[in-house]
Structure 1
Amino acid sequence: MDSVSWTGETACALQAALQMSNDAFAAYLRIGVRTVAGWHEKPNTKPQSAMQQLLDTALENATSAVKSRFAQLTAGPSTPPSDAEQRLAADPNIVAGLDWLDHHAGWEPGTARGRVAARLGLVDVQALRDRGSRRARVDQRRIAEALADYYGARTAPYGTYSATYDGSAATTSILTQPDWLDLECPLIATADRLSVIRAAEDARMPLSEEATARAVQRLAETLATGTRIVDMPLYRLLGIDVHKGRIGGQAGVSRFVGYALTMDLLENELVDALAADSPILGSLPLRDQYLPDLAAVLNVSGRLCAGGTLALCAIARPASPFRGDADYVLLVQERSGYVLNAARRLAVIPKGFHQPLTDIRADAQIGATLRREMEEEFFGRDDIDNTVSDQRRADPMHPSRLSEPMRWLMERPGRLRMECSGFGLNLVSGNFEFPGLIVIEDEEFWTRYGGVIEANWESSNLRQYSSLDPLLLAELISDVAWSNEGLFALLQGLRRLAQIGGSRVDLPAIEWKVE
Structure 2
Amino acid sequence: MARPTGWTGASACALQAALRLSNESFAARLGIAVRTVAGWHQKSTTRPRPEMQQLLDTTLEQADQAVRERFAALSARPETPAQLSPAEPARQAEPVSAEALRRLDSDHGINDALAWLDDHAGWEPGTARRAVAERLAALDVRELRDRGSRRGRVDQRRIAHALAAYYRDVVEDHGRYTVRHDGGAETETSILTRPGWLDLNCSLTTGGDRLAVDGTPAAALRLDAEAADHGVRRLAETLALDIRLTDMPLYRLTGTAVDQGGIGGTLALSRFVEYACTMDLLEGELVDALATGAPVEPGSLPLRDRHLPDLASVLDLAGRLCAGGTLALCAIARPADPFRGPADYVLLVQERSGHVVNAARRLAVIPKGFHQPMTDVRADARLGATLRREMEEELFGREDIDNTVSDQRRADPMHPSRLSAPMRWLSEEFGRLRMECTGFGLNLVSGNFEFAGVIVVDDEDFWTRFGGEIEANWESHGLRQYSSLDSGLISELIGEVAWSNEGLFAMLQGLRRLSEIGGDRVNLPAMNWEVRE
Same fold by TM-score greater than 0.5: yes
Matched, 1:352 2:369: yes
Matched, 1:498 2:515: yes
Alpha-carbon distance in 2 for matches of 1:100, 1:295: 29
Matched, 1:432 2:432: no
The answer (yes or no) to whether the contact 1:186–1:245 under 8 Å persists in 2 is: no
Partner of residue 341, structure 1: 358
Partner of residue 14, structure 1: none
Q: For each residue in 1:289-345, what CA deviation from the matched residue of structure 2 results, as whole angstroms up to 9, or x when unmatched?
A: 011111110001100100000000000000011011100000000000000100000
The answer (yes or no) to whether the contact 2:96–2:139 under 8 Å persists in 1 is: no
Secondary structure, in 3 states, of the residue corresponding to 1:495? helix
How far has the Cα of 1:483 moved from its partner? Answer: 0.3
Matched, 1:248 2:270: no
How far has the Cα of 1:99 moved from its partner? Answer: 1.4
Partner of residue 106, structure 1: 122
The answer (yes or no) to whether the contact 1:184–1:245 under 8 Å persists in 2 is: no
The answer (yes or no) to whether the contact 1:185–1:245 under 8 Å persists in 2 is: yes
How far has the Cα of 1:83 moved from its partner? Answer: 2.1
The answer (yes or no) to whether the contact 1:334–1:345 under 8 Å persists in 2 is: yes
How far has the Cα of 1:213 moved from its partner? Answer: 1.8
Q: For each residue in 1:113-152, what CA deviation from the matched residue of structure 2 results, as whole angstroms up to 9, or x when unmatched?
A: 1110000111111111111110010000000011011111
Partner of residue 27, structure 1: none
Percentage of pairs with the same residue: 69
The answer (yes or no) to whether the contact 1:242–1:249 under 8 Å persists in 2 is: yes
Q: Residue 270 of structure 1 is aligned with which of 254, 262, 286?
A: 286
Alpha-carbon distance in 2 for matches of 1:81, 1:459: 23
Alpha-carbon distance in 1 for matches of 2:441, 2:216: 21
The answer (yes or no) to whether the contact 1:161–1:514 under 8 Å persists in 2 is: yes
Matched, 1:86 2:63: no
Q: Residue 316 of structure 2 is aligned with which of 274, 299, 303?
A: 299
Partner of residue 133, structure 1: 149
The answer (yes or no) to whether the contact 1:332–1:347 under 8 Å persists in 2 is: yes
Partner of residue 454, structure 1: 471
Across the two proteins, how many residue pairs are aligned to each other?
Answer: 440
Q: What TM-score does the superposition give when structure 2 sets the normalisation length?
A: 0.81
Partner of residue 213, structure 2: 196
How far has the Cα of 1:210 moved from its partner? Answer: 2.9
Partner of residue 390, structure 1: 407
Residue 455 of structure 1 aligns with an amino acid whose one-letter code is A
Q: For each residue in 1:45-80, what CA deviation from the matched residue of structure 2 results, as whole angstroms up to 9, or x when unmatched?
A: xxxxxxxxxxxxxxxxxx9x99xxxxxxxxxxxx96
Distance 1:273 1:495, change over 3 A: same
Alpha-carbon distance in 2 for matches of 1:347, 1:191: 25
Alpha-carbon distance in 2 for matches of 1:230, 1:124: 24
Alpha-carbon distance in 1 for matches of 2:362, 2:300: 23
How far has the Cα of 1:373 moved from its partner? Answer: 0.3
Secondary structure, in 3 states, of the residue corresponding to 1:203? coil
Partner of residue 170, structure 1: 187
Secondary structure, in 3 states, of the residue corresponding to 1:508? coil
Alpha-carbon distance in 2 for matches of 1:165, 1:135: 28
For structure 1, the residue ranges without an aligned partner over 5 or more in a row are 1-62, 67-78
The answer (yes or no) to whether the contact 1:317–1:446 under 8 Å persists in 2 is: yes
Secondary structure, in 3 states, of the residue corresponding to 1:121? helix
Partner of residue 503, structure 2: 486
Partner of residue 154, structure 1: 170
Matched, 1:317 2:334: yes
Residue 391 of structure 2 aligns with an amino acid whose one-letter code is M
Q: For each residue in 1:170-198, what CA deviation from the matched residue of structure 2 results, as whole angstroms up to 9, or x when unmatched?
A: 00000010011111110101110001012
Alpha-carbon distance in 2 for matches of 1:88, 1:155: 44
Alpha-carbon distance in 2 for matches of 1:482, 1:209: 35
The answer (yes or no) to whether the contact 2:433–2:457 under 8 Å persists in 1 is: yes
Partner of residue 258, structure 1: 274
How far has the Cα of 1:245 moved from its partner? Answer: 3.3
Partner of residue 228, structure 1: 244
Q: What TM-score does the superposition give when structure 1 sets the normalisation length?
A: 0.84
The answer (yes or no) to whether the contact 1:273–1:283 under 8 Å persists in 2 is: no
Alpha-carbon distance in 1 for matches of 2:473, 2:261: 32
Residue 240 of structure 1 aligns with an amino acid whose one-letter code is T
